[in-house]
Structure 1
Amino acid sequence: MSSPGAPGLAISPALPSAPPLLRRAGRKVQLNLGKYREIIIAVAFFLLFDLAVLVLNFYVSFQIAEDAVSINLAGRQRMLSQRMSKALYASELASASGPIPQSLLDELHNASRLFDNTLQGFRNGAQVTGGDGRQVFLPAASGPKSADILNRALALWEPWRRQMDLLRESGSASHAAYVKAAADYARANNLALLGMMNELTTDLESAASQRASVLRMVQTGGIVLALLNFLFILFKFIRRLRQSDAAVEQASGETQEILSVVREGLFLLTPEMTLGTQISNSVSGMFGRPAQAGDNFILLLSPLVSAKTLEDARGYIELLFTPHVKEDLVQSINPLTEVELTQTDTLGQKRQRFLSMQFSRVVEDKSVKHLLVTVQDVTPRIELERKLEGEQKRAQREFDLLVQAFEADPAALAAFVERTEGSLLEVNDLLRQVDAGSDAKQLRRTVDRIYRHVHAVKGEAAMLSLELLASTAHEFESHLQPLREAASMSGEALLALPLPLEELLTRLQALKRSVLRDRHRLPQVAPQPGVDGLGAQLSALVERIGEDTDKPARLHAKLDAITDLPTRVRDALTQIAVQLVRNAVVHGVEDAATREARGKPVRARIDVEVARDETDQVHLLVRDDGGGLNPERVRQRLLSLGWFNEAQLAEMSVSQIVAQVFKPGFSTAEVTGEHAGRGVGLDIVAHEVRRLGARLLVSSRAQEGTTFRVRLAT
């Protein structure tokens, strides 16, 4: 093998060493020829035998082909004689009742002409019409017996032919007389003529059989000589083949030893994109399926990569097999430098692996014969890189959390941390009470309580623009959602929840240590949040959710009365307001295009008010100008969830149907996302209202909006 552009050996006549080099090269060629002289002579005899047999075969086969034509036409002569006789008899019968049909006359003339031409061809050799209607050369029949038969046949045929000619030349009025004369002659001589044609056919078949015997003898003799020659060559080769086989086996054994211990996957790829015969043992393990010689590389790769990557790999390999394309220039576009695989181990566990495949050309005579493919398992490197990248992102997110925390209202942040820590510790206590024998209904109530706590944390974190905490709480909800939707539940199903809880607590503690500890201006007990701060936070929350959901909205807040409320009531109303505001943006108001089509302002309006009435009752009002509650949509959703059937819903009033929106897990959102679809927000509202001992009133008008009002006595 050589590489493209490899230097060659140049011999100049002007150099003093050139003649001795040439003489040594000539002597080497002579020695090599002498080494194989016997084999060369044997091969020459073998070719000579084959050529002689081929020539004889060709000659005898040509004669047999001519004999086949003759035998076929001799057989046809028998048929023609019978056809003429039959046509004559039919014409004779037809003439008794009227004119002879022209078709019978045509058949007589054609049969007689064809019989006469073929008979003359047998005697003298001529071009005649063959059995398929084409012109063929009919050689003259050789041999004294055939000549005697033809002479007798011609003597018998000539009178008949003259009568047929007279019939053809006569007018229609004289047909009957000539037909009768020809028919009488046929009755008298047809069988004799038929017997002569039979004799001719038999004689021709005998001659063909003799030529076939000659051909078999020639072939047998040639095969015997060729076999003897072959045995001589085989004898000469066996001794050398044994030596060569021993050397090949040794080299093959060494190659197999290398391929069995090498950790990389190694194999050759042909221009047809099939695997070569030498494949390292590690290839099958890396691909997760057996890899054998002759397997199509693209088919082997297809279950492991996407359709686009597979097509790119095919194009890249085709480029490498193109000699004029520089190998170094296309290595950067190799689509298989990092292939991600999902494989199942012996324990049934799925794990990710990463393979890197590199291709090197094997060049011979300036053409690419193969590609050497090196497959490496780069999973540890990729995992390390991803781990480092994840740590960098984690650090960046922690930094972003701290930046957002520093920008938040200090008092609101302190209150949030205190409430959230208490909620998460309560979640921890709930999980500690769960064991494998816990009742299924109790487990569902536990999951609902945990869900409310986590969703409340997410809502407040989003209100304070603490995106990292909000997203961490959303991930916690993703662990809870399958538990809520499961048909049955056991205590073991909750065993994985401490992990996301620990992550959420860790981030909260980091926020508490890194931000609140360094804010010396904060008192030990967080003061009540100001009205302006809460209104601004709710307004920012509305703006952010509206941007994410393509529902631009503006918040109008009147929260003066909240500052005079006890902490417990204030925190509960704040939580209710957060959930109702989120619900108003996500579910209540329409998107910009729908509002414009309905003649509404593109930006929706949401009002939040906290006030006291003349009876000293506190009122929390959250109102939007959206499309209003749709009882029919709620009804269809209840049916799809399987909570009620048609008969049960038919007995329920509209207010009873609408009240179901406050049940855990109910949501009309078509797509689950960070802001909607989990059915927790209004569940929190109902829970907090019950905890306060308050009343919740809902009023809605189609296309005008929905109002939620909470009343409680203080």
Structure 2
Amino acid sequence: MSAVLSASPAQPAGSPHPAGDDGKFRRGVGKYRQLLILFGVFGALVFSLLALNFYASFRSAQVNTAYQLANRQHENLQRIARALLELDAMRVAGAAWKAETLAELRTAANAFQVSQATLRGGGIAPGADGKPITLEAVASPRGRDLEDRIDALWKPWSIRIAPLLRDDFTSAQLAEALAWSQANHIALLSTAGDLAVETQLDGVAQAAELRRLQTGGVVAALVLFVLILLTFLQRLRVAQETGDLAREELREILVNVREGLVMVMPDYRLGARMSRSAHGMFGRTLHADDDFFSQLSHLVGEKLRHDARDYVKLLFTAHVQDSQLTGQNPLHAIEVTARTRGGYTARRHLSFAFHRIFIDGVVNHLLVTIQDTTARMELERKLQDERQRSQKDFSMLLKAFDADPAMLRQFVQRAEACLLEVNDLLGSVSSVNGEAAMSRMLDRAVRRTHELMRDASQLGLESFSTQAQQFEAELQRIQLSGADLATREVDIQNLPMPLQDLLTKVAAIKSLTSSQRVMAAAAPAESLNDTLAAVVQEAAAASNKQVDAIIRMGSHSDLEGESRHLVREIAIQLARNAVAHGIETPPVRDSAGKGARGVVDIQLTRGETDWVLSVRDDGAGVTASVIKQRLIELGWYSAPQLESFDERQIVGHIFKPGFSTADAGSATVHAGRGVGLDVVQANVQRLGGRMTLSSQPGISTEFRIRFAA
């Protein structure tokens, strides 16, 4: 309800007034005293919000610095352990101690000692911009507990490292320090990592509290602003003359206004004057003395009409204040079905606003304003969709910023090449070239898009991988549609091509790589063991399975060039395949007498003349009968045709493009699109290796890839 018009009696003649300018000033101040007080409170609230924002920025810098300091503890521990291993290698080789190794050990030990003291007792540390910033000691109970655990592990180690910080240490002292490192380094690293996480969680909690305070302040400011506005409007309403109200009905109803305007009398009947637009808003011709709620019957249901009647009844009660009715209008925003001029039905959004018209302290009638808010609601929906899309893109950029710089640069290079290749492939598709050429081009486009989706998923770029997955699904739909060449060509031309959008995302990610180059030199390379463990757990979570991963890929770092990349790609894809198609769900495993948790074992070993990559799972195994049935379902063969195939030939189809045992509706990022083992086989060929498959139905499946050293 937006307005209350009142008529106040005229002031009797001869009533006293303050004389002169001083009297006018006092009258002006008295007249607007309430507004001045509200403006003063509003200004004070805005100032408080600015101060709170400054404090929030200061706390954010503190939290960020504390988090970075905790992370540097983790790095310094790794530097210490690496230096001890290098010194031990020199001892074994009988070589002299390298000065740079000793310097690295001393620098890392001193740096850890300083950062530990700062986090534990507070102090000054360099901020993100290099400027010193005062840090408070870790205050959370868990943080203090983690600090105590770090001290308990670090102090004995620092005592054993102390002799190594001098030039006259002995091999026995080195062996003692190294033995302590090997026994306690992992626990210390884990505890330091937990401290970094706890520091970040503590910062998040503080930031959330500050956001709540800021939100409360903003809400209070908005309430004050609305109060100021309502007070000002009330002053305007009071200033209107009683004589103007007698002609209000004629001035309120305008013939050409876009809004629908009607008057509702105390008996709920329509007044004689109404705007032309009102008929269109109601979707029928209105007449004076029509019952307002009867005209609403084809727009809203019985329950809403009943609520509207109760609300209008309150509006006609003079002693009920506007503040008591705020937010109670049931017709403020409604969705209705209306017929267009062409006879079609369309959904519209309408907003009814009720304005009380007072004469001599009594509500004479209600002025009802009806607005078609369809365009505004559609705009709000689009803005919300765009906001969500921007949030996803922003989250993707944050993920990219946290990714390994080398992997991110490699992804950018491959993504650009892949997108441009897909664009060229689809641009060259023509029915003139024949069935085989179109199939090859579509198959290549599907493969390249799948590779792009997989690479983005590995880096956690959800927005990118989701868009690539959707585009891949569209390509596969055309590929498997069975339509004639001309129809498929038209379908390709009508595809909603996201290539430009994906290239834009790649460009945004590319801009991050330059800022990561400085950090990349100091940061350790991502462990393939960790990556594979994460892939296994993500695939398990996506398929509601429980899986333990045994991963031994440490020698992967000895590979060079393309071989290193190909082995990584093969291992990741086979790990996904093992979880998605091999490991059973816990109920199935229980019924088969297995434990609820499956096991995926991945290892890379080096022999004298060759390398062997093995990926083994203790799942359901590869069953020829299941593959045979799936080939029939896909329409690749008939049952009589498959009778001439032996089991080896049938199982070999799992490496064919487009084959998957998963249903089309259950395809995910991890499996179900028929471009998994096909890609693995292609990568094995590029590696110059040979792949073998051994399986025991109901027991295990193992893929072994052997390639030259």
Provide TM-score, normalisation by structure 1. 0.52
The residue aligned with 1:463 is 458
**Which residue among 307, 319, 325 is the counterpart of 1:316?**
307
CA distance in 2, matches of 1:590, 1:461: 27
Q: Is the 8 A contact 1:560 1:611 kept in 2?
A: no
Q: Is the 8 A contact 1:414 1:516 kept in 2?
A: no
Query: After superposition, where does 1:280-295 map in structure 2 within 5 Å?
Result: 291=284
Gaps of 5+ in 2: 10-249
Deviation at 1:510, TM superposition (A): 1.0
| Residue aligned with 2:400, SS | helix
The residue aligned with 1:557 is 551
| Residue aligned with 1:536, SS | helix
Deviation at 1:340, TM superposition (A): 6.5
| Residue aligned with 1:490, SS | helix
Q: Is the 8 A contact 1:555 1:605 kept in 2?
A: yes
Distance of aligned partners of 1:520 and 1:363 in 2 relative to their CA distance in 1, 3 Å threshold: closer
**Per-residue Cα deviation, 1:599-644 (whole angstroms, up to 9, x for no partner):** 4333322122233445x34332222222223444433433333332
Matched, 1:583 2:577: yes
The residue aligned with 2:509 is 511
Residues paired across the two proteins, number: 452
Q: Is the 8 A contact 2:430 2:489 kept in 1?
A: yes
The residue aligned with 1:650 is 643
CA distance in 2, matches of 1:590, 1:283: 64
Deviation at 1:583, TM superposition (A): 2.0
Deviation at 1:452, TM superposition (A): 1.5
**Which residue among 690, 704, 708 is the counterpart of 1:709?**
704
**Which residue among 442, 445, 468 is the counterpart of 2:440?**
445
CA distance in 1, matches of 2:443, 2:272: 62
Q: Is the 8 A contact 2:582 2:617 kept in 1?
A: yes
RMSD (Å) for aligned C-alpha atoms: 5.0
Q: Is the 8 A contact 2:351 2:372 kept in 1?
A: no
The residue aligned with 1:143 is none
Distance of aligned partners of 1:404 and 1:487 in 2 relative to their CA distance in 1, 3 Å threshold: same
Q: Is the 8 A contact 1:428 1:498 kept in 2?
A: no
Deviation at 1:513, TM superposition (A): 1.0
Gaps of 5+ in 1: 10-253, 303-309
Matched, 1:484 2:479: yes
Query: After superposition, where does 1:612-623 map in structure 2 within 5 Å?
Result: 612-613=606-607, 616-623=609-616
CA distance in 1, matches of 2:330, 2:658: 45
The residue aligned with 1:501 is 499
Distance of aligned partners of 1:611 and 1:285 in 2 relative to their CA distance in 1, 3 Å threshold: farther
Q: Is the 8 A contact 2:431 2:438 kept in 1?
A: no
**Per-residue Cα deviation, 1:562-587 (whole angstroms, up to 9, x for no partner):** 33445223322322222222222222
**Which residue among 536, 539, 544 is the counterpart of 1:542?**
536
Return the letter of the residue paired with 1:678: R
Deviation at 1:339, TM superposition (A): 5.4
Distance of aligned partners of 1:4 and 1:445 in 2 relative to their CA distance in 1, 3 Å threshold: same
The residue aligned with 1:608 is 602
Deviation at 1:275, TM superposition (A): 11
State the structure with more CA Rg: 1
**Per-residue Cα deviation, 1:165-217 (whole angstroms, up to 9, x for no partner):** xxxxxxxxxxxxxxxxxxxxxxxxxxxxxxxxxxxxxxxxxxxxxxxxxxxxx
CA distance in 2, matches of 1:486, 1:412: 36
Distance of aligned partners of 1:264 and 1:428 in 2 relative to their CA distance in 1, 3 Å threshold: same
Deviation at 1:480, TM superposition (A): 2.6
**Which residue among 415, 427, 435 is the counterpart of 1:432?**
427
Distance of aligned partners of 1:297 and 1:583 in 2 relative to their CA distance in 1, 3 Å threshold: farther
Query: After superposition, where does 1:48-447 map in structure 2 within 5 Å?
Result: 261-265=256-260, 291=284, 300-301=298-299, 313-314=304-305, 316-317=307-308, 319-320=310-311, 332=327, 337-338=332-333, 355-358=349-352, 360=354, 374-435=369-430, 437=432, 439-447=434-442
CA distance in 2, matches of 1:418, 1:331: 58
CA distance in 1, matches of 2:681, 2:344: 43
Q: Is the 8 A contact 1:275 1:296 kept in 2?
A: no
Distance of aligned partners of 1:684 and 1:360 in 2 relative to their CA distance in 1, 3 Å threshold: same
Deviation at 1:692, TM superposition (A): 4.1
The residue aligned with 2:661 is 668
Matched, 1:625 2:618: yes
Distance of aligned partners of 1:266 and 1:499 in 2 relative to their CA distance in 1, 3 Å threshold: farther
Deviation at 1:702, TM superposition (A): 2.9
Return the letter of the residue paired with 2:518: H
**Per-residue Cα deviation, 1:412-469 (whole angstroms, up to 9, x for no partner):** 3333332333222322322332357554543333222222122222222222223333
CA distance in 2, matches of 1:540, 1:315: 57
CA distance in 1, matches of 2:274, 2:433: 56
The residue aligned with 1:699 is 694
CA distance in 2, matches of 1:494, 1:344: 36
| Residue aligned with 1:332, SS | coil
The residue aligned with 1:130 is none
Return the letter of the residue paired with 1:499: M
Provide TM-score, normalisation by structure 2. 0.52
CA distance in 2, matches of 1:514, 1:682: 33
Percent identity over paired residues: 37
Deviation at 1:313, TM superposition (A): 3.5
| Residue aligned with 1:698, SS | strand
The residue aligned with 1:57 is none
**Per-residue Cα deviation, 1:63-118 (whole angstroms, up to 9, x for no partner):** xxxxxxxxxxxxxxxxxxxxxxxxxxxxxxxxxxxxxxxxxxxxxxxxxxxxxxxx
| Residue aligned with 1:666, SS | coil
